[in-house]
Amino acid sequence: MNPTLRQMRAFVAVAKTGNFTSAAQYLHVTQSALSGLIKELEQTLGTRVVDRSTRRIVLTEIGRELYPLFSQMIDDLDGALANVADHTRLRKGVVRIAAPQLMCCTLVPEAVAAYRADFPDIDVRVADSAVENVIARVLSGESDFGIGPEREAAPQLEARELFEMPFSLVCPQDHPLASNERVTWQDVARYPFIALQGQFTARLLADMQALLREVPLKPANEVTFMTTALAMVSAGLGITVCLPYAEPLVRLHRLHMRPLEEPRLTRRFFVYTRAGRSLSPAAESFIDFLFPYVEAKRSLAREQPV
């Protein structure tokens, strides 16, 4: 004894309007089709739910009991379907992003603002994290996806390359290296170098040792965040290196950014998601927006170097 949704909608429409003509118009069906649905419902239940007359209908005792139940079920279902439609049509939803602290000072807010201009009803929440914590936030489900540097492959993660960028020197505008025709890593090694703690510096030094053993790049100071390193460079305490996506912050500190050569070291950044887990429509749409947005920013930067 399982009434169908069409049968329940037909019964509720008849009960609300009080006659078959109005109910048929409300449901956009013929009167005969509506009458057939009511008969099917009564056959399914094994009892009458409506007493018919030439002028009006009257609910039976069973019909009066079923009407509020069916009506509430349909309202709940319609509400749930409307909620799903709002999500799929991007009229509603939440996107939770984890990204390194420096990226959350530069690229991410700009991308969020551009996305919100197209989808103002989507709530985008950004978690600025230490680089090492981005993946953990994704795997725990705290964030829908993360943006971070290349990491060893893991079966529980899916990774899509977002960009690859070369390291650039950052120095005061009046620094001797600012006027050099070209800047090499050997040039960097001659000045106090401000580095980041942890994996950033460890991988950088490993790359330098593998490629240029004669370059003794030894940090004069190690800090936790690139924002601190840039502030120290601005104060004249040394020079540092970072990726070009930090350019807005470099400009804010009125510093100079130069590409580094010999060798040209790069870092790849990826969008990380949990393997085998579907993203919400809002999160999927943000990722789909992010890739062409980043590429457009990079194209513009190539045309207008710092």
Name the strands in the sheet holding 168-172, side by side, starting at the edge strand that comes first in the sequence: 183-184, 255-261, 168-172, 240-242
Is the per-residue pLDDT at 247 higher than 80? Answer: yes
Pick the CATH number of 168-264 from 3.50.50.60, 3.40.190.10, 3.60.9.10, 3.40.50.720: 3.40.190.10
Q: Are 165 and 245 in contact (CB under 8 A)?
A: yes
pLDDT tens digits along 87-104: 666 677 899 999 998 899
Q: How confident is the model at residue 205 (pLDDT cuts 50, 70, 90)?
A: low
The structure tokens 């953990």 sit at: 136
Q: Is 141 left (phi over 0), alpha (psi -120 to 50) or beta?
A: left
Pick the CATH number of 5-88 from 3.40.50.620, 3.10.20.30, 1.10.10.10, 3.40.50.920: 1.10.10.10
User: Rounded CA gap, 95 and 91, in Å?
Assistant: 13
Annotated domain spans of the chain: 5-88, 94-163+268-303, 168-264
Average pLDDT over residues 30-53: 89
5-88 against 94-163+268-303: fold identical: no
Average per-residue pLDDT for the chain: 87
pLDDT tens digits along 219-232: 888 888 888 999 99
What dihedral do alpha carbons 155, 157, 163, 165 form, nearest 10°?
Answer: -70
Superfamily of segment(s) 94-163+268-303 = Periplasmic binding protein-like II (3.40.190.10)
Q: How confident is the model at residue 201 (pLDDT cuts 50, 70, 90)?
A: low
Instruction: State the pTM of this model.
Output: 0.72
- The residues, any chain, with a CB within 8 Å of residue 218's CB and separated by 6 or more, are 189, 193
Question: For the chain, first and last CA: distance in Å?
Answer: 73
Q: What's the pLDDT at 306?
A: 44
Is the per-residue pLDDT at 17 higher than 50? Answer: yes
Is the per-residue pLDDT at 28 higher than 80? Answer: yes
pLDDT tens digits along 149-186: 888 778 899 999 999 999 999 999 999 999 888 999 88
**Residue 84: in which H helix or E strand, if any?**
helix 61-88
